[in-house]
Amino acid sequence: MAIFCRTFSYLTINLITSVPRKLRDDMRHGQPRTIARRGEIRRYSRSTVTQLFISPHPFAAVDKSAFQLLEAAGVPFLSNRLGKKLTEQEVAESVDGAEVLIAGTEPLTEQLFKECPNLRLIVRLGIGLDNVDFEAARARGIRVAYTPDAPSKAVVELTLALMLNLLRGVSLANGEIHGGRWNRRMGRRIEEVTVGLVGVGRIGSGVLALLQAFGCRRILAHDIRPNRALDAAFRFEWVDKMALLEQADIVSLHVPLTSRTRGYLRRSELLAMKRDALLINTARGGVVDESDLFSVLQEGHLEGVALDVFEHEPYSGPLASVERCLMTAHMGSMSVDCRARMEREAVQEALRFLRGEPLLNEVTSGEP
């Protein structure tokens, strides 16, 4: 018993002293006796106390299987316990010599890489890569991977939920009743409107499938790389960008944020949409110019907007004052099953790297 207590105290002291002072009380840590590292087993030592840092919050909040995978593999790790999205500096301080970072949407730039010389792998929890300076990472020999399939179904369902909400004015009616007003709103059915999908990849094609199941009679699609395999499976029309904006009653965005899609919808494109059109963005905030969107809404253009993503998060800008702008807190992937799958896949990719095995979802280009 005395031997066990001395061993436990030694491990605990090592872990505590390896964490930046201001974060120590807010981090969760693994305390295995050995470290699985690129196919070999190394004794637990002070210089390798933290092999992996988990930045996103929440992580394993409901399903603990991702933590269990790390503990079973004997990989010492720390995770974000500040209860918020970390700043770049907080990430740099927290990585603390780790080789692997499981990252969220916080900025990962050249400056962070300079401060984390031991970092060798970033696993992005989710599908977007716009927050990663890919060229800077590659220049420093840092590999990048992600979990592109796991969140798709959850984002697809949230997109459809936002469409139905806007079409029937559900959130507006709820607010009116809570405010003491009884207003029986006249809405539209999804079967009767034209839906335009900008981007028909994993998520866009999933939305396409649900729209067809709901009986939507006319679906327009635009993609810089049209997937012609979809033509045989679904009823829809490929059109150019402006035709989609001008004809669709609902425009739903499903593109990554790249140099080509940043500011994809500005004032001129927004005004090209029907005056009573609906806009949904569950992709990335920078795809829509938020200042232009606010201006257009203030002028009475567009019947409704639903945003799950914003250029700066948490969002606190002027769009929050627009009643017909429905806003959610970047929760597209936040279903229990999809979130747990994302977390497990990120951990599994990290473990493959540490064992010297091939990565399954390595990113080879900064702009998909």
> What are the structural domains of the chain?
2-150+336-354 (3.40.50.720), 152-327 (3.40.50.720)
Give Dmax over CA atoms of the chain in angstroms. 76
| Residue 330 falls in the annotated catalytic set | yes
**DSSP class of residue 359?**
P
| Residue 313 falls in the annotated catalytic set | yes
Number of C-beta neighbours around residue 84 at 10 A: 9
At residue 366, the pLDDT reads 62
* Rounded average pLDDT over 30-37: 36
**DSSP class of residue 276?**
T
pTM of model > 0.95: no
Q: How confident is the model at residue 26 (pLDDT cuts 50, 70, 90)?
A: very low
Q: Among 184, 177, 98, which Cα is nearest to 142's? A: 98
Looking at every residue in the chain, the average pLDDT score rounds to 88
H or E stretch covering 43: strand 40-43
Question: Lowest-pLDDT range, 55-69, 83-97, 174-188, 231-245?
Answer: 83-97
* Rounded average pLDDT over 194-204: 97
Report DSSP letters for 138-179, one per residue. HHTT-EEEE--STTHHHHHHHHHHHHHHHHHTHHHHHHHHHT
Rg (C-alpha) for the chain, rounded Å, is 23
Q: How confident is the model at residue 50 (pLDDT cuts 50, 70, 90)?
A: confident
Q: Using CB atoms within 10 A of its CB, is residue 149 exposed (0-12), middle (13-18) or buried (19+)?
A: middle
* Rounded average pLDDT over 252-257: 96
Q: Using CB atoms within 10 A of its CB, is residue 336 exposed (0-12), middle (13-18) or buried (19+)?
A: exposed
Does the bond joining 314 to the residue before it have cis omega, within 30 degrees of 0? yes
* Rounded average pLDDT over 80-92: 91
Residues 6+ apart with CB under 8 A from 187: 167, 168, 169
Is 36 a residue whose pLDDT tops 70? no
| Residue 324 falls in the annotated catalytic set | no
Q: Dihedrals φ, ψ of 149, to 5°?
A: -90, -30
Question: Lowest-pLDDT range, 199-203, 237-241, 362-366?
Answer: 362-366
* Rounded average pLDDT over 2-14: 41
Residues 267 and 289 sit within 8 Å (Cβ to Cβ): yes
At residue 254, the pLDDT reads 98
Q: Which two tokens stand for residue 211?
A: 């729209």
H or E stretch covering 110: helix 110-115
Q: Among 321, 253, 238, which Cα is nearest to 289's? A: 253
Q: How confident is the model at residue 35 (pLDDT cuts 50, 70, 90)?
A: very low
At residue 96, the pLDDT reads 77
* Rounded average pLDDT over 79-93: 91
* Rounded average pLDDT over 257-265: 95
Q: Which of 299, 313, 357, 367 is catalytic?
A: 313
Q: Among 67, 28, 81, 44, which Cα is nearest to 351's? A: 67
* Rounded average pLDDT over 76-91: 92
Is 145 a residue whose pLDDT tops 90? yes
* Rounded average pLDDT over 39-59: 63
At residue 368, the pLDDT reads 56
Is 29 a residue whose pLDDT tops 60? no
Q: Which of 222, 254, 330, 352 is catalytic?
A: 330
Is 16 a residue whose pLDDT tops 70? no
Q: Bigger pLDDT: 128 or 305?
A: 305
Q: Say how many Å lie between the first and final Cα of the chain, rounded.
A: 55
At residue 367, the pLDDT reads 61
Residues 6+ apart with CB under 8 A from 74: 32, 33, 34, 35, 36, 41
